[in-house]
A = this chain, B = another copy of it.
Amino acid sequence: MGVEEILKGELSRRQLFRGAVCSAGITALATGGLSLFTRAEAKDGHTEKWPWPYVKLDPDKTAEIAYEEWYRVFCGAGVINSIFSQLREKIGEPYKSFPVDAFKFLEGGMSAWGTICGSNAGANVVTNCIIGPSLKGASEDGMLMGSEIMQWYCDANMPTYTPKDPKFKGEMPKTVANSPLCHVSVGKWMKAADKSLGSPDRKDRCARVTASVAYHTVKLLNEWKDGKYKTKGVLPAKSFNIPAQSNCTECHGSGVPTPPAAKKV
């Protein structure tokens, strides 16, 4: 029995089982000596229809929720939950099925490695879940809105949002990260404030950054809902010929390497 025939049999069984006509474009991967895998399941999950329903949210309320959530699940899950928790209440599915708390690992730039700031990662999860991924023929606005938020994060004098009743009552220094990375962002702030990672000042700074990113994300999503969103987001790899931030000299100094040319294969 050839792969084609096995596939036909598999398809019939599935249609019977699931009571659904599988979409065109089902492909299969037959691996030598291994059992067959069809991509039908992978491609038509019931939460994989975009855009997800969205109603405009209050940026201030969202920021307050994000601020409080930082003290429970930190930056990434804080941003996601500040938005999805409200949409769970106002809309229901697919937000109720999304395992927000699993994203606590975004803390400290992913498991405390200092890579992408969890607030940025969380914002990208939100925009790409709601607007949808840039699959063939689909809008790129989800990814570009995430990119726009990262550029805004790089340029902003953070934190931009001050909570109504902050847990830390002292003076809060502000810094410009010029990078979407946790290590660079929090490092510059710690240097300017001369405060340790474990200080209440630093914790509240990151809670406020989380609130700031949540506020900005909802502001853009509300524009999108109104049909007024014109993205400022770009895909930096297109201009740099390598996936990159724009602060090259910050790591490379004056010796910024030139990637092998785009036209060269």
Contact = CB atoms under 8 A, between A and B. Distances in A.
Contacts of A84: 42
A79 interface: no
B243 A150 contact: no
Contacts of A264: 195-196, 199
Nearest to A150: B113
B60 A34 contact: yes
A180 B48 contact: no
B146 A105 contact: yes
Q: Indicate how many identical chains form the complex.
A: 2
B147 A111 contact: yes
A35 to B, nearest CB: 7
Given A128-B105, A243-B183, A265-B196, A111 B143 contact: yes
A116 interface: yes
A227 interface: no
B241 A180 contact: no
A32 interface: yes
A234 to B, nearest CB: 8
Contacts of A98: 45, 47, 97-99
Given A128-B103, A129-B102, A259-B197, A115 B180 contact: yes
A2 interface: no
Nearest to A151: B113
A42 to B, nearest CB: 4
A99 B100 CA distance: 12
A21 interface: no
B42 A85 contact: yes
A165 to B, nearest CB: 7
B104 A124 contact: no
A2 to B, nearest CB: 16
A169 interface: no
A34 B64 contact: yes
Given A102-B132, A105-B142, A196-B241, A190 B34 contact: no
B196 A101 contact: no
A133 B197 CA distance: 22
A259 B187 contact: yes
Interface in A86-112: 86, 88-89, 94, 96-105, 108-112
A19 interface: no
6 contacts: A29-B65, A31-B164, A42-B69, A46-B96, A101-B135, A113-B180
Given A115-B245, A197-B262, 6 more contacts: A29-B64, A41-B96, A43-B101, A47-B98, A102-B132, A111-B143
